[in-house]
Amino acid sequence: MMDNQEARRIAVIEQTRKGKFNNREAAHLLGRSIRQGQRLKRKAEAGGATAVLHGNRGKRPYNALPEETRTTVISLARDTLKDYNYMHMQEVLEDEYGVNISYSGLSGCVKYFSHLSFPPLVEIDEFTGKNEYFRTSNSQYE
């Protein structure tokens, strides 16, 4: 299924091939340079209208988390590790379960695929009522 940007790209390239737009107008409408517009036009002439779509369209990203790892992480995060923050969860997954996943990969996976809430890394100052980030020292520069 095409999104609006892809459909617009195909429509503009097709109209350019038919002579409704010149290369400069097409490039302006697509937000590309004239040379890129000409390249897309040649590509459409050689391979059809859908040839101007991105080549990786519909493919699984190379850096995507494997399905087995994702389901393991989600099931553990829901049950066994539900009271852990992301950093501690990452360490436990690596040490005890042999699942090697980055912090950002873990937080993205858990946030996207489940509706869990983890303990925040923020404390509320009891005197001011404002949120204060937890610090290990008194210096604001460390």
Per-residue pLDDT band at 108 (split at 50, 70, 90) = confident
What value does the mean pLDDT take over residues 110-120? 62
Compute and round to an integer the Cα radius of gyration of the chain.
25
**Whole-number pLDDT of residue 25:** 94
**Whole-number pLDDT of residue 28:** 94
Instruction: Give the helix ranges, DSSP H, for 19-138.
Output: 23-30, 34-47, 67-78, 86-97, 103-113
Per-residue pLDDT band at 58 (split at 50, 70, 90) = confident
Map tokens 């404002």 to a residue: 130
Q: Which residues pair with 85 in a beta bridge?
A: none
**Whole-number pLDDT of residue 61:** 85
pLDDT > 60? residue 66:
yes
Structure tokens at 45: 């002439």
pLDDT tens digit sequence for 88-107 = 999 999 999 999 999 988 88
**Whole-number pLDDT of residue 52:** 85
The 3-state DSSP class for residue 123 equals: strand
**Whole-number pLDDT of residue 135:** 46
pLDDT > 70? residue 49:
yes
